[in-house]
């Protein structure tokens, strides 16, 4: 544990020293991942799939604020969907507009959750986002997570039905609209996941604020269990098969990621908890102070042992002291 804490401190110090370079670098890496996943899954416009385009877009995202990445990702998605079918792009555009008009107007900082949720769900790590929102955000951050969930299910549905949606046969535009909307309106699994994420975020948020020891750990475990039980029961009720193994693996991985977050952002030493009571004219105070775990980074001292050089230096110093020349 001490070794891990030392590594954490070292990482923190590195970040503090080089944050001006590291922040754009992280944004660049995230942007590359986001655009690569978009191009890999719904890359219907071939010109956008080219590596130089992805790199240029990622570079732009590295310089601009995080919300610009969301706008650019949305624009890339719309262009790809436009290449598939105009109707699908129109539905996606309406969906993005609704999300931005109704929610991101109030809470633009939370939009990162909407970007990361489809990203995590792509790697079967969906529960990471409600756990993270509950641990590190406000309770209303769940709306962002839900927006991200809707976007992911919509895009996944489009990908699965790309043959039907992109067919050049003279299918009526209305039926393409209906087919695109069906990815959201009639998707029972999406509603199940949305309800689960809502429950998980609220539960994690409430538990981690309790005045109990290991509140974050308890919140993570309870959240992961609720996520697993509700989704498992929901899949059974809805008759969705073939999801159990993915659900177990995803839950375990999400649990691991949540514990890493706890280690990085909320690492307390409960064995040294201080409880004090005092009063003033108006209140009686029951104070519980829990110290953070902290290990100072060991400073390495390098000593060079060189007998010949050492003797020579000693001789030089002694001659200098006596005011004589070396030769």
The residue ranges that bind another protein (CB under 8 A) are 91, 94, 97-98, 101-102, 105-106, 174, 177-178, 181, 185
Q: Which is nearer to another protein, 141 or 217 (CB)?
A: 141
Q: Which is nearer to another protein, 173 or 237 (CB)?
A: 173
Q: How far is the CB of 140 from another protein (least distance, A)?
A: 9
Q: Could you tell me if 38 and 84 are in contact, meaning their C-beta atoms sit under 8 angstroms apart?
A: no
Distance CA 107, CA 39 (A): 28
CA distances from 218 to 136, 209, 240 (A): 15, 11, 30
Strands 274-279 and 284-289: antiparallel
Q: How far is the CB of 24 from another protein (least distance, A)?
A: 17
Q: How far is the CB of 184 from another protein (least distance, A)?
A: 10
* DSSP code at position 285: E
Q: How far is the CB of 105 from another protein (least distance, A)?
A: 6
Q: How far is the CB of 101 from another protein (least distance, A)?
A: 4
Distance CA 10, CA 102 (A): 42
Cα 243 from chain centroid? 23
Q: What is the torsion angle, in degrees rounded to the nearest 10, for the CA atoms of residue 254, residue 260, residue 266 and residue 270?
A: 100
Q: Could you tell me if 301 and 12 are in contact, meaning their C-beta atoms sit under 8 angstroms apart?
A: no
Q: How far is the CB of 189 from another protein (least distance, A)?
A: 19
Tokens of 67: 């919300």
Distance CA 258, CA 268 (A): 15
């Amino acid at each position: 544990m001490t070794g891990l804490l030392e590594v954490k401190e070292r990482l923190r110090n590195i970040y503090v020293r080089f944050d001006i370079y590291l922040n754009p670098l992280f944004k660049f890496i995230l942007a590359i991942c986001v655009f690569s996943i978009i191009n890999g899954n719904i890359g219907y416009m071939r010109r956008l799939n080219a590596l130089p385009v992805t790199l240029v877009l990622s570079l732009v995202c590295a310089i601009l604020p995080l919300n610009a990445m969301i706008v650019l990702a949305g624009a890339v998605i719309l262009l790809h969907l436009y290449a598939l079918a105009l109707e699908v792009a129109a539905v996606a555009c309406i969906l993005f507009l609704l999300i931005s008009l109704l929610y991101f107007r109030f809470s633009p900082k939370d939009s990162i959750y909407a970007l990361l949720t489809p990203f995590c769900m792509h790697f079967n790590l969906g529960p990471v986002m409600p756990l993270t929102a509950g641990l590190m955000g406000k309770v209303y951050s769940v709306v962002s997570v839900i927006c991200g969930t809707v976007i992911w299910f919509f895009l996944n549905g489009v990908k699965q039905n790309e043959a039907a949606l992109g067919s050049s046969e003279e299918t009526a535009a209305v039926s393409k609209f209906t087919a695109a909307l069906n990815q959201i309106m009639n998707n029972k699994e999406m509603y199940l996941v949305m309800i689960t994420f809502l429950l998980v975020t609220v539960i994690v948020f409430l538990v981690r604020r309790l005045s109990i020891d290991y509140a974050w750990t308890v919140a993570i475990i309870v959240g992961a269990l609720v996520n697993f039980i509700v989704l498992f029961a929901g899949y059974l009720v809805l008759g969705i098969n073939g999801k159990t193994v993915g659900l177990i693996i995803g839950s375990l991985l999400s649990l691991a990621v949540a514990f890493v977050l706890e280690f990085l952002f909320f690492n307390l030493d409960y064995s040294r908890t201080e409880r004090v009571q005092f009063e003033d004219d108006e209140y009686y105070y029951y104070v519980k102070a829990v110290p953070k775990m902290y290990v100072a980074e060991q400073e390495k001292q390098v000593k060079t042992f060189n007998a010949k050089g050492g003797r020579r230096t000693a001789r030089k110093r002694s001659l200098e002291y006596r005011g004589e020349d070396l030769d």
